[in-house]
């Protein structure tokens, strides 16, 4: 622990950083009829944010295997795609464009091109099966879809159900792309980006509250809901990411970097998907704006991750707690030079408090961090960083300056500090609602407040502690798993009469999926049969690793609701 900590209180750091004239000056603005705190100096749109990042022209900003893209080369590809979207495919401000691919450099090109022309980016889960991908495209009303070869194959049986203005396939590995346009014909091959002419981006006027993204998130009923993000939401998150770092420096009593001196380029390993708010809003966007080097992996592997950290002299890694644990407990951990690591950050899943201790032991100079946010808050709401995190490792941290957080009872009344209740969040990072789902929007967003469905408490210093989720949802290694969706898949098997999905604690992943089913009379089914059935309908990470098959009815209360707490105890004992 830093002996100078805490050099300043949170109250004093927020007062200093949010004061008039500060880059993080806080003011009030009406957003959807509600007076809301905002960063007054924030860029007005993702386009303005993108322009800020153009100062790093000759820096390498994206690295994937032997592909190394500078900011200038990346910009040429962004400009070419942006022009094609408007001129070739007729994309106008507010039109939706789907991205569904693994973390390729093209993902970044697509995101910035769509955002710069005022399109609405619809990132779909690349782990999803064909029906899930089709649903996201149809529900969002996307006009253009950009996929890689693997996602194209999953989508192929569903193409006749879609009405598209364009379908573009990235890194095609087959001659048959089912009528899709090839990326290299629309933009260029990766090796050909540098030869593109560049030029100006199409001219589009963007406002802070214009729609920018639709990220799909699981809920408690029905199909996944599209969280409708605005330009202000994502720009705010970028500001908050920097704000939390400077707040931590002040708390540590260290000197702030001199803004007149160009700082050495930082490098990060991204090990979470871009199609999550964390990967997009909190890693891709800030990395681009700050001119940092972002190293991509074909798929997560802790050994390969350490090799990349060593070879590229990367300064940070993380994502979700599972990935950090896998690095720390890797049998060859000691043979890699990981001395360049300065920060290890994670969120998006429950984490054991011992993890911060292990991080400090393995990387003594590193700043561990953990945060709390949701898709509906465009990532960051609270952040626990450095000595604050070492001191309170069970906490997700303190809200950023523009976020209000309160803990309420069942009637929506704020409870005293220390008491447990539902967490509500208000701020310019809260999304505009759910796409085309008015009822769900009215249930979840009230007078500017997001009703998270998460249970927690707040201490006298403002530290937030997440205790449980009121929503029936699991988080496995950072992936949200909608229990009812898995239960529906189980119910569709002819042998299943009743089903309940519960979580099994897992040290690395946070939770694993388990299920309890009652078989119908006269039927006999094995766990493997049900797992195969679910895997044919849902992504692999949603398939239960353990299924308790019973002949007797599942326990229910007087209202007929399955007693999941009881089942959870039975499964885990």
Percent of the chain with pLDDT over 70: 96
My answer on whether 125 and 142 are in the same domain is yes
State how far the alpha carbon of 378 is from the alpha carbons of 241, 279, 433, 483, in Å: 11, 11, 12, 23
DSSP assignment letter at 401 = T
Per-residue model confidence (pLDDT) at position 158: 97
My answer on whether 126 and 91 are in the same domain is yes
DSSP assignment letter at 434 = B
321-328 helix and 302-312 helix, angle to the nearest 10 degrees:
80
* Domain final residue, candidates 469, 504, 534: 469
My answer on whether 449 and 485 are in the same domain is no
My answer on whether 525 and 559 are in the same domain is yes
My answer on whether 405 and 535 are in the same domain is no
Percent of the chain with pLDDT over 90: 74
Average pLDDT over residues 88-99: 98
For the cut 60, the answer to whether the pLDDT of residue 452 exceeds it is yes
Q: Is 332 exposed, middle or buried (0-12, 13-18, 19+ CB in 10 A)?
A: exposed
Q: CB of 322 within 8 A of CB of 509?
A: yes
My answer on whether 444 and 482 are in the same domain is no
Per-residue model confidence (pLDDT) at position 558: 45
My answer on whether 337 and 409 are in the same domain is yes
Per-residue model confidence (pLDDT) at position 522: 82
- Give residue 139's domain range: 69-206
Q: Which of 95-99, 322-326, 399-403, 556-560 has the lowest mean pLDDT?
A: 556-560
237-273 per-position pLDDT tens digit: 999 999 999 999 999 999 888 888 888 999 999 988 9
The number of beta carbons lying within 10 Å of the beta carbon of residue 507 is 12
My answer on whether 462 and 492 are in the same domain is no
For the cut 90, the answer to whether the pLDDT of residue 485 exceeds it is no
* Domain annotation covers residue 52: no
* Domain final residue, candidates 412, 440, 469: 469
* Domain annotation covers residue 213: no
Average pLDDT, the chain: 92
CA distance 103 to 105: 7
Average pLDDT over residues 307-335: 89
CA distance 367 to 345: 8
Higher pLDDT, 174 or 442: 442
For the cut 80, the answer to whether the pLDDT of residue 1 exceeds it is no
* Domain annotation covers residue 377: yes
Per-residue model confidence (pLDDT) at position 561: 62
Q: CB of 214 within 8 A of CB of 230?
A: no
CATH code for the domain in which residue 567 is found: 3.30.300.30
Per-residue model confidence (pLDDT) at position 324: 85
Average pLDDT over residues 14-41: 97
174-217 per-position pLDDT tens digit: 888 999 999 999 999 999 999 999 889 999 999 999 999 999 98
Q: Could you list the beta-strand ranges (E) of 153-292.
A: 166-170, 181-182, 211-217, 225-230, 267-270
Closest CA to 507 of 396, 352, 348: 352
Q: Which of 235-239, 319-323, 419-423 has the lowest mean pLDDT?
A: 319-323
Per-residue model confidence (pLDDT) at position 3: 79
What does the block give as tokens for 298? 């074909």
Q: CB of 289 within 8 A of CB of 49?
A: yes
DSSP 178-194: TTPEEHHHHS--GGGGG
Helices (H), 27-123: 46-53, 71-87, 105-116
Confidence (pTM): 0.86
For the cut 70, the answer to whether the pLDDT of residue 340 exceeds it is yes
My answer on whether 360 and 493 are in the same domain is no
DSSP assignment letter at 340 = T
For the cut 90, the answer to whether the pLDDT of residue 536 exceeds it is yes
Confidence label for 350 from pLDDT (cuts 50, 70 and 90): low
What does the block give as tokens for 437? 């789902």
Q: Is 443 helix (H, G, I), strand (E, B) or coil?
A: helix
My answer on whether 403 and 278 are in the same domain is yes
Average pLDDT over residues 526-553: 94
CA distance 15 to 27: 12
* Domain final residue, candidates 439, 469, 499: 469
State how far the alpha carbon of 262 is from the alpha carbons of 21, 195, 266, 290, 313, in Å: 22, 29, 12, 11, 19
| Chain centroid to CA 245 | 19
Per-residue model confidence (pLDDT) at position 573: 82
Closest CA to 513 of 485, 556, 481: 481
Strands 96-100 and 120-123: parallel
Q: CB of 418 within 8 A of CB of 459?
A: yes
CA distance 139 to 142: 8
For the cut 60, the answer to whether the pLDDT of residue 482 exceeds it is yes
CATH code for the domain in which residue 378 is found: 3.40.50.12780
* Domain annotation covers residue 222: no
Confidence label for 116 from pLDDT (cuts 50, 70 and 90): very high
Confidence label for 218 from pLDDT (cuts 50, 70 and 90): low
For the cut 50, the answer to whether the pLDDT of residue 221 exceeds it is no
Q: To 5 degrees, how large is the angle CA 365–CA 305–CA 49?
A: 75
My answer on whether 383 and 498 are in the same domain is no
Average pLDDT over residues 554-571: 77
* Domain annotation covers residue 338: yes
Q: CB of 73 within 8 A of CB of 67?
A: no
Point out which residues pair with 122 in neighbouring strands. 98
CA distance 429 to 240: 9
Per-residue model confidence (pLDDT) at position 471: 62
Per-residue model confidence (pLDDT) at position 469: 64
Average pLDDT over residues 479-503: 85
* Domain annotation covers residue 156: yes
CA distance 435 to 338: 43
For the cut 80, the answer to whether the pLDDT of residue 275 exceeds it is yes
Q: CB of 207 within 8 A of CB of 44?
A: yes
Average pLDDT over residues 162-177: 94
33-59 per-position pLDDT tens digit: 999 999 999 999 999 999 999 999 999
Strands 343-346 and 367-372: parallel
Q: How many CA atoms lie within 13 A of 560 on its CB side?
A: 1
Per-residue model confidence (pLDDT) at position 219: 47
For the cut 80, the answer to whether the pLDDT of residue 327 exceeds it is yes
* Domain annotation covers residue 520: yes
Backbone phi and psi for residue 286, each to the nearest 5 degrees, phi listed first: -60, -35
Q: To 5 degrees, how large is the angle CA 253–CA 256–CA 262?
A: 155
Per-residue model confidence (pLDDT) at position 108: 98
CATH code for the domain in which residue 138 is found: 3.40.50.980
- Split into its structural domains, the chain has a count of 3
My answer on whether 384 and 492 are in the same domain is no
94-115 per-position pLDDT tens digit: 999 999 999 999 999 999 999 9
* Domain annotation covers residue 63: no
Per-residue model confidence (pLDDT) at position 557: 58
């Amino acid at each position: 622990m830093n002996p100078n900590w805490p050099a300043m209180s949170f109250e004093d750091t927020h007062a200093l950083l949010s004061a008039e004239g500060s880059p993080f000056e806080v003011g009030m603005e009406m957003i959807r009829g509600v007076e809301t705190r905002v960063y007054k100096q924030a860029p007005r749109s993702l386009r303005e944010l993108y322009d800020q990042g153009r100062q790093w022209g000759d820096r390498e900003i994206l690295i994937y295997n032997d592909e190394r893209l500078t900011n200038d080369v990346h910009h040429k590809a962004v400009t070419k795609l942006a022009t094609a979207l408007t001129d070739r495919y007729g994309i106008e401000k507010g039109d939706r464009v789907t991205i569904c691919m693994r973390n390729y450099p093209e993902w970044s090109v697509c995101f910035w091109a769509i955002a710069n022309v005022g399109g609405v980016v619809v990132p779909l889960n690349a782990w999803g099966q064909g029906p899930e991908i089709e649903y996201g495209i149809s529900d969002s009303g996307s006009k253009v879809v950009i996929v890689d070869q693997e996602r194209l194959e999953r989508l192929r049986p569903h193409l006749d159900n879609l009405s598209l203005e364009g379908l573009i396939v990235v890194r095609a590995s087959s001659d048959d792309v089912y009528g899709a346009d090839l990326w290299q014909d629309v933009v260029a091959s990766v090796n050909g980006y540098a030869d593109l002419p560049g030029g100006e981006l199409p001219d589009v006027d963007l406002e802070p509250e214009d729609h920018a993204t639709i990220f799909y998130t699981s809920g408690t009923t029905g199909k996944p809901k599209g969280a409708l993000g605005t330009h202000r939401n994502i720009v705010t998150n970028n500001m908050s990411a920097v704000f939390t770092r400077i707040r931590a420096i002040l708390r540590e009593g260290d000197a702030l970097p001199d803004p007149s001196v160009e700082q050495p380029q930082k490098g990060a390993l991204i090990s979470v998907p871009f199609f999550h708010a964390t990967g997009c809003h909190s890693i891709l966007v800030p990395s681009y704006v700050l001119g940092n080097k972002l190293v991509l992996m074909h798929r997560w592997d802790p050994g390969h991750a350490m090799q990349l950290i060593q070879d590229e002299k990367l300064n940070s890694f993380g994502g979700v707690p599972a990935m950090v644990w896998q690095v720390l407990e890797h049998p060859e951990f000691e043979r890699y030079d990981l001395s360049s690591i300065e920060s290890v950050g994670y969120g998006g899943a429950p984490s054991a408090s011992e993890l911060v201790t292990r991080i400090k032991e393995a990387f003594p100079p590193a700043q561990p961090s953990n945060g709390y946010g949701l898709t509906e808050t465009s990532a960051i709401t609270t952040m626990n960083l450095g000595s604050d995190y070492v001191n309170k490792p069970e906490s997700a941290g303190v809200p950023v300056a523009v976020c209000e957080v309160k803990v309420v009872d069942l009637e929506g009344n704020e409870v005293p500090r220390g008491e447990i209740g539902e967490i509500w969040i208000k701020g310019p990072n809260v999304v505009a609602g759910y796409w085309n789902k008015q009822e769900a929007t009215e249930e979840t967003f009230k007078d500017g407040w997001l009703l998270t469905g998460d249970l927690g408490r707040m201490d006298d210093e403002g530290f937030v502690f997440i205790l449980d989720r009121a929503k029936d949802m699991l988080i496995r290694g950072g992936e949200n798993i909608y229990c009812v969706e898995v239960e529906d898949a189980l119910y569709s098997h002819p042998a299943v009469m009743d089903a309940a999905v519960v979580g099994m604690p897992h040290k690395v992943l946070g939770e694993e999926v388990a299920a309890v089913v009652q078989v119908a009379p006269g039927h006999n089914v094995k766990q493997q049969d049900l797992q195969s059935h679910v895997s044919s309908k849902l992504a692999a990470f949603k398939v239960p690793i353990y299924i308790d098959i019973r002949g007797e009815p599942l326990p229910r209360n007087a209202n007929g609701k399955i007693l999941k707490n009881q089942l959870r105890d039975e499964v885990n004992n």
